[in-house]
């Protein structure tokens, strides 16, 4: 995991260590280090636009720093703390599932958004699993009446988890299905309604209209954008796209376990300004973890 970004940050840290063990680090020193590693940062999926901001953040912590002589460990620690600061910008204040449980909102409606294949359906199953474990009763709704097989896939998860499942005919109005599911869930005392939507490609204007309608009709308490850590730089485009299509409140970053580059989380922590409520770390239901800035910084600089 994170092999690429790891080697870039180890390089930054050792270069910083070299300086701070003899004298205070200047802005110029750091600029030099950054210009040397810029390409490697980009190759690790750190978005180009994120680099100047990353520089500014590290500058706050590192410029003027001085450690005792020959202590490269202390210098590493400084870089790690700087990284924790950066990643903390997207760390959630609450565990979402705990938050739903403690809110008085019932049923709590969440619409999940994201382009094709990022892991929406899998993540919904993971969230349902987490809700079940805290004693809540979720229902799952397939508001994807577009892609063949989408509803069956969700139905299989629902059955395995023992969670009620709502679906409509192919081509039916997803907003109407979602609304029905919500009304039904309110009557039956369910705690949360998890709404899966069709994966949207950038060019699909019709699907944008459909998404807007779902949001207008359902009035979800949360809209969560699912992003795939393997997407690379396009992740920034996806954020912009969904922001302008319907907006969203939080992100779940999937496939972190398979991410050899590692820059995606860093890019998001700089450009997103919304919390990453969970990260996906595998294909089974329990593979959903809280986003913890310190854990990730430690994985990068271990
Ligand atoms: N390794 C790993 N694989 C994941 C993770 N999350 C999802 N996947 C896999 O990614 C693939 C796509 O996941 P789906 O949940 O079907 O994605 P989707 O966004 O619903 O796709 P569409 O409905 O086609 O838009 C599946 O093979 C999942 O098992 C994760 O955190 N780690
Ligand atoms: Mg799906």
- CATH number of the domain bearing residue 125: 3.40.50.300
Let me know if residue 34 belongs to a domain: yes
The pLDDT of 16-40, averaged and rounded, is 90
Domain boundary residue, one of 88, 112, 130 = 88
Predicted pLDDT of residue 147: 72
Q: Residue 15 is part of which domain span?
A: 3-88
Are 101 and 12 in a shared domain?
no
Let me know if residue 302 belongs to a domain: no
Retrieve residue 242's tokens: 């969904």
Predicted pLDDT of residue 132: 98
The pLDDT of 23-51, averaged and rounded, is 92
Expressed in angstroms and rounded, the spacing between residue 147 Cα and the centre of ligand 1 is 15
The structure's pTM equals 0.93
Let me know if residue 299 belongs to a domain: no
Triad 5, 227, 50: Cα angle to 5°: 45
Are 57 and 120 in a shared domain?
no
Strands 276-280 and 288-290: antiparallel
Contact 224, 248 (CB under 8 A): yes
Contact 1, 262 (CB under 8 A): yes
Let me know if residue 283 belongs to a domain: yes
The pLDDT of 216-221, averaged and rounded, is 96
Asked whether 44 lines ligand 1 (CB < 6 A), one says: no
The single residue listed with the structure tokens 């809700």 is: 131
Are 82 and 185 in a shared domain?
no
Expressed in angstroms and rounded, the spacing between residue 165 Cα and the centre of ligand 1 is 19
Task: Give the Cα separation of 197 and 204 in Å (integer).
Answer: 14
Domain total of the chain: 2
Domain boundary residue, one of 88, 121, 151 = 88
Q: Look at ligand 1, atom 21, and give the residue with the nearest C-alpha.
A: 117
Indicate the DSSP class of residue 168.
-
3-state secondary structure 31-67: HHHHHHHHHHHHHCCCCCCHHHHHHHHHHHHHCCCCC
Expressed in angstroms and rounded, the spacing between residue 204 Cα and the centre of ligand 2 is 16
| CATH code for the domain in which residue 46 is found | 1.20.120.140
User: Is the preceding omega at residue 107 within 30 degrees of 0, hence cis?
Assistant: yes
Terminus-to-terminus CA distance in the chain, angstroms? 12
Asked whether 258 lines ligand 1 (CB < 6 A), one says: yes
Let me know if residue 297 belongs to a domain: no
Q: Where are the beta strands (DSSP E) in the chain?
A: 108-113, 138-143, 165-166, 192-197, 222-228, 250-254, 276-280, 288-290
Nearest alpha-carbon partner for 130 in 277, 251, 247, 299 = 277
Asked whether 284 lines ligand 1 (CB < 6 A), one says: no
Expressed in angstroms and rounded, the spacing between residue 114 Cα and the centre of ligand 2 is 9
Are 78 and 101 in a shared domain?
no
| 70, pLDDT greater than 80 | no
Triad 154, 155, 161: Cα angle to 5°: 90
pLDDT bin (cut points 50, 70, 90) of residue 52 is: very high
Are 169 and 74 in a shared domain?
no
Task: Give the Cα separation of 105 and 196 in Å (integer).
Answer: 20
Expressed in angstroms and rounded, the spacing between residue 164 Cα and the centre of ligand 1 is 21
Domain boundary residue, one of 41, 62, 88 = 88
Ligand positioned closest to the Cα atom of 117:
1
Are 47 and 178 in a shared domain?
no
Collapsing DSSP states into helix, strand and coil, what is residue 271?
helix
Rg from Cα positions in the chain:
21
Residue among 116, 119, 148, 167 whose CB has most ligand 1 atoms within 8 A, to mutate = 119
Let me know if residue 300 belongs to a domain: no
Are 121 and 27 in a shared domain?
no
Are 68 and 162 in a shared domain?
no
Task: Give the Cα separation of 276 and 250 in Å (integer).
Answer: 6
> How much is the mean pLDDT over the chain?
90
Instruction: Express each pLDDT in 109-154 by its tens digit.
Output: 999 999 989 999 999 999 999 999 999 999 999 987 777 787 888 9
For residue 292, the tally of other CB atoms under 10 A from its CB is 16
């Amino acid at each position: 995991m994170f092999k690429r970004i790891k080697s870039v940050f180890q390089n930054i840290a050792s270069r910083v260590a070299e300086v701070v063990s003899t004298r205070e680090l200047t802005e110029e020193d750091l600029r030099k280090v950054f210009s040397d590693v810029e390409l490697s940062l980009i190759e690790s999926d750190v978005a180009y636009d994120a680099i100047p901001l990353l520089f500014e953040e590290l500058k706050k912590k590192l410029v003027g720093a001085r450690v005792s002589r020959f202590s490269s460990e202390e210098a590493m620690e400084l870089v790690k703390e700087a990284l924790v600061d950066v990643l903390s910008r997207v760390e959630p204040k609450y565990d979402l599932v705990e938050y739903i449980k403690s809110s008085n909102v019932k049923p709590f409606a969440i619409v999940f958004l994201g382009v094709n294949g990022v892991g929406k359906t899998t993540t919904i199953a993971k969230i349902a699993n987490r809700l079940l474990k805290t004693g809540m009763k979720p229902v799952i709704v397939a508001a994807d009446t577009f892609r063949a097989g989408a509803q069956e896939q969700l139905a299989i998860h629902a059955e395995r988890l023992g969670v009620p499942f709502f679906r409509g005919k192919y081509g039916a109005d997803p907003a109407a299905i979602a609304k029905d599911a919500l009304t039904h869930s309110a009557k039956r005392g369910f705690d949360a309604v998890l709404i899966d939507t069709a994966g949207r490609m950038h060019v699909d204007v019709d699907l944008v209209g459909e998404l807007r309608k779902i949001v207008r009709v359902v009035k979800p308490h949360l809209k969560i954008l699912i992003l795939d850590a393997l997407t690379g730089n396009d992740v920034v485009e996806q954020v912009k796209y969904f922001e302008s299509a319907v907006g969203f409140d939080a992100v779940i970053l999937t496939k972190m376990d398979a991410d050899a580059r590692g820059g995606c989380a860093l890019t998001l922590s700089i450009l997103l300004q919304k919390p990453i409520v969970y990260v996906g770390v595998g294909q089974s239901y329990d593979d959903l973890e809280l986003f913890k800035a310190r854990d990730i910084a430690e994985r990068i600089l271990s």
